[in-house]
């Protein structure tokens, strides 16, 4: 059954409910409304089939007011009703307000004009039209300015392949993974933009896992998590960035699970990015992880020097500036962490040359590299985290190091564990040891508790956000 099929049947069912509610006699309902068959719904015009001309005339004479208000109720003020009369089974005789058969009838069919957006269907959130869903894509991240190298060849090729025939290739879902700053978000957007260019009618949506979570939490708070799921099930191409951020969020994972299943079954395309391969992800439900492996998992690495040079050249060219080759090479050789840092150095170099009129040479490049690389390498230690958290709550650090069970101490300790897990590369065992001599399970529990509380308690979420800011300051 396709969507239009369902729409007119659903709309007619609702009309029947409305009619039943407003009709005094159940017998009249049985005689005059049950035999009606809905035929189609187009441009806010609902066509119903009635068994005979007599039947039609009777409806128009006795139930015109009820029908009019029913259509207005279900389709809005512009809604129209048209009849199709069965003369014999092979030749239905159409009567419509715009058709040429009106003279045949005593009463003109009801014609109440309406707005299409008022058509309630199980697939649409009231007031939202599928065609109007913004894709949230970043126009700057295209295939054209994504430099191909050994580091990203498979991911790029698979991404490009699905743009040919979204949802129908073997790469569903396409799961792109790799360290930060290596082009996952760029590639994800490029896939979306390319599909939109090739298939303007498809509904493409880019969303970060963080935003997805936020929307889900808000929907639950407002009691409309069903709308949330229905909305996502409308999408033809769903692009979810940084899916590892769903870790530990059971509720959001469940919602995502049903959305994933629905879209996958309907052959809709799903593309996900993550900082790790599905096999190495933690805090994710097994059933989700197994689905992440259904299609293709493709990794992205740090580009080799030649690709780094090509990336720099492309960006320099796009900026319409000239930078000597030896400087480009110097930067490409010096930065071996990720493309974001490579870009960062280039951008500050450009700023220095344009704003401060400095000559771009290796010396200037070296200065910029020292500044940027040092800044981003600033390590956050567990001690620093404990200090920031304790200062915030006004408690001495020694308190979270001992096994106190006082509520505010427990919470501060859990937050320290949570941030240590987020910002340091220490194992859970080490984090536990340094935060009150606890074991790794306590740390895991703490991370989960913090995530859950953030979902349900706004004040707590604000606290976490404020602490995050202080940690990065």
Q: Using CB under 5 A as the criterion, which residues of the chain lie in contact with Mg ion when the complex forms?
A: 184-185
Tokens describing residue 116:
């299409």
Q: Is 304 in the site for ligand ADP (CB under 6 A)?
A: no
State in angstroms the smallest separation of the CB of 180 from ligand ADP: 4
Choosing from 14, 340, 448, 461, the residue that interacts with ligand ADP (CB under 6 A) is 340
Query: How far is residue 286's CA from residue 278's CA, in Å, rounded to a whole number?
Result: 10
Instruction: Identify what 146 binds: ligand ADP, Mg ion, none; CB under 5 to 8 Å per kind.
Output: ligand ADP
Q: Is 186 in the site for ligand ADP (CB under 6 A)?
A: yes
User: For residue 284, how many C-alpha atoms fall within 13 Å in the half-sphere facing its CB?
Assistant: 23
State in angstroms the smallest separation of the CB of 196 from ligand ADP: 18
Query: How far is residue 77's CA from residue 71's CA, in Å, rounded to a whole number?
Result: 8
Choosing from 7, 96, 185, 208, the residue that interacts with ligand ADP (CB under 6 A) is 185
**Contacting ligand ADP within 219-248 (CB under 6 A):** none
Stretch that binds ligand ADP, among 12-20, 255-263, 337-345, 371-379 (CB under 6 A): 337-345
Stretch that binds ligand ADP, among 110-118, 176-184, 200-208, 406-414 (CB under 6 A): 176-184
Choosing from 183, 192, 278, 295, the residue that interacts with ligand ADP (CB under 6 A) is 183
Q: Is 302 in the site for ligand ADP (CB under 6 A)?
A: no
State in angstroms the smallest separation of the CB of 315 from ligand ADP: 7
Query: How far is residue 83's CA from residue 97's CA, in Å, rounded to a whole number?
Result: 9
**Contacting ligand ADP within 129-168 (CB under 6 A):** 141, 145-147, 152
Query: How far is residue 47's CA from residue 94's CA, in Å, rounded to a whole number?
Result: 10
Query: How far is residue 399's CA from residue 431's CA, in Å, rounded to a whole number?
Result: 16
Q: Which residues pair with 240 in a beta bridge?
A: 207, 272
User: For residue 364, how many C-alpha atoms fall within 13 Å in the half-sphere facing its CB?
Assistant: 20
Count the residues in the chain: 473
Long-range contacts formed by 284-291: CB under 8 A, 24+ apart: 284/244, 284/246, 284/247, 284/253, 285/250, 285/253, 285/254, 285/257, 287/257, 288/246, 288/253, 288/256, 288/257, 288/260, 291/173, 291/257, 291/260, 291/261, 291/264
Q: Is 184 in the site for ligand ADP (CB under 6 A)?
A: yes
Given a contact cutoff of 8 angstroms between Cβ atoms, the answer to whether 435 and 413 are in contact is yes
State in angstroms the smallest separation of the CB of 147 from ligand ADP: 4
**What is the x/- site pattern for ligand ADP, positions 261-300, by CB under 6 A?**
----------------------------------------
Residues that bind ligand ADP (CB under 6 A): 141, 145-147, 152, 178, 180-186, 311, 339-340, 343
């Amino acid at each position: 059954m396709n969507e239009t099929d369902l729409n007119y049947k659903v709309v007619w069912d609702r009309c029947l409910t409305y009619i039943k509610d407003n009709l005094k006699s159940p017998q009249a309902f049985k005689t005059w409304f049950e035999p009606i068959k809905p035929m189609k719904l187009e441009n806010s015009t609902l066509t119903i089939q009635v068994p005979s001309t007599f039947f039609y005339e009777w409806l128009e004479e006795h139930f015109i007011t009820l029908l009019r208000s029913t259509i207005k109720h279900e389709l809005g003020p512009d809604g129209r009703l048209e009849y199709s009369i069965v003369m014999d089974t092979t030749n239905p005789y159409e009567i419509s307000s715009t058709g040429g058969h009106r003279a045949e009838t005593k009463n003109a069919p009801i014609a109440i004009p309406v707005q299409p957006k008022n058509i309630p269907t199980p697939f649409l959130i009231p007031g939202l039209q599928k065609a109007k869903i913004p894709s949230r894509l970043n126009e700057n991240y295209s295939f054209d300015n994504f430099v191909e190298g050994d580091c990203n060849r498979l991911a790029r090729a698979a991404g490009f392949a699905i743009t040919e025939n979204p949802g129908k290739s073997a790469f569903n879902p396409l799961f792109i993974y790799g360290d930060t700053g290596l082009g996952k978000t760029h590639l994800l957007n490029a896939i979306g933009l390319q599909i939109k260019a090739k298939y303007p009618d498809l509904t493409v949506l880019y969303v970060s896992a963080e935003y997805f979570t936020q929307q889900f939490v808000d929907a639950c708070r407002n009691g409309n998590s069903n709308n949330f799921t229905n909305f996502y099930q409308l999408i033809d191409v769903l692009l979810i960035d940084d899916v590892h951020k769903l870790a530990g969020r059971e509720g959001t994972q469940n919602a995502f699970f049903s959305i994933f299943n629905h879209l996958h079954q309907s052959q809709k395309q799903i593309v996900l990015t993550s900082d790790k391969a599905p096999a190495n992800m933690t805090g994710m439900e097994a059933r989700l992880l197994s689905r992440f492996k259904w299609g293709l998992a493709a990794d992205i690495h740090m580009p080799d020097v030649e690709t780094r040079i090509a990336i720099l050249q492309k960006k320099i060219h796009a900026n319409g500036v000239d930078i000597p080759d030896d400087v480009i090479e110097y930067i490409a050789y010096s930065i071996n962490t990720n493309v974001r840092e490579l870009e960062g150095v280039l951008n500050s170099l450009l700023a220095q040359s344009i704003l401060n009129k400095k000559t771009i040479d290796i010396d200037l490049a070296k200065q910029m590299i020292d500044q940027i690389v040092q800044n981003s390498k600033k390590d956050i230690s567990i001690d620093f985290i404990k200090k920031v958290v304790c200062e915030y709550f006004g408690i001495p650090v020694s308190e979270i190091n001992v096994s106190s069970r006082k509520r505010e101490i427990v919470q501060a300790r859990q937050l320290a564990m949570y941030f240590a897990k987020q910002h340091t590369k220490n194992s859970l065992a080490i984090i536990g040891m340094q935060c009150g001599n606890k074991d790794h399970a306590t740390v895991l529990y703490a991370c989960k508790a913090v995530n859950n509380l953030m979902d349900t308690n706004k004040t707590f979420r604000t606290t976490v956000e404020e602490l995050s800011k202080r940690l990065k300051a």
